[in-house]
Amino acid sequence: MSLIITGILILQAEGFNISKSTWIDRLRFRRISKSDLIWSIIGLILVGIISGIVMKGLQLIIGEFNHSPVFMSFEPLSKGRYWLLLIWLPYWILNILGEEFLWRGAMLPRQEIAFGKYAWIIHGTGWGLFHITFGWQLLITLIPLIYIQSYVVQKKKNSWIGVIMHGGLNGPSFIAICFGLI
């Protein structure tokens, strides 16, 4: 929720009100085109492949390690605890929408004005630093997502691509962890 509030404060400082035109024109939450969807899927596939290579490379270099910080680790869900997924769902939605509202909607368009075609590099670096509290192991495995997603959203000028890519990676990964698949 704090990310959404921060995004709203940024918009208000720029003189924008929350309206349909602000949502579409300033924040770039535009209707998804077939091309946007294709770029989202290709981006997700690339993120998955490159992240897998990075994780295997790290295992070869430093041995087995936990990609998640201790405060995020938990045992897979057991029978009688699946209801926790119902609690997780609104958190997941607010987390993804909050980050995308702030990072891809409010910040990236302004960074494009300042840094032009290289804004996605600056943007991805900032987004990575935002995630540094999760530990270096997870941050390294996120590098493909933070740069590929930033590039694709900048190229296509549609923040929904960020929602698709971020949610498409984060949600299934969490579900897989919950059921002990990874």
Q: What is the CA radius of gyration of the chain?
A: 17
- Over the stretch 88-120, which tens digit does the pLDDT of each residue have? 999 999 999 999 999 999 999 999 999 999 999
Query: Cα torsion for 20, 24, 26, 29, to the nearest 10°?
Result: 120
Over residues 46-94, the pLDDT tens digits come to: 999 999 999 899 999 988 877 777 777 778 888 888 898 999 999 999 9
Distance CA 20, CA 3 (A): 20
Pair of tokens at residue 112:
């494009």
Judged by average pLDDT, the poorest of 27-36, 74-83, 102-111, 124-133 is: 74-83
Q: What is the pLDDT of residue 45?
A: 97
CA distance 84 to 86: 5
Residue 25: pLDDT band by 50, 70, 90 thresholds?
A: very high
Tokens 């057991």: give the residue: 78
Give per-residue pLDDT as tens, 144-161. 999 999 999 999 999 999
Q: Where are the alpha helices (DSSP H) in the chain?
A: 2-13, 20-21, 34-62, 84-99, 108-115, 119-130, 136-156, 160-178
Any idea where the domains of the chain sit in the sequence?
Answer: 34-66+83-178
In this structure, of 25-29, 122-126, 131-135, the range with the lowest mean pLDDT score is 131-135
Q: Count Cβ neighbours within 10 Å for each residue of 41-63 and write b for 16 or more, e otherwise.
A: eebbebbbebbeeeeeebeeeee
DSSP symbol at 179: T
Pairwise CA distance, residues 159 & 161, whole Å? 5
Cα–Cα distance, 122 to 62 (Å, whole number): 29
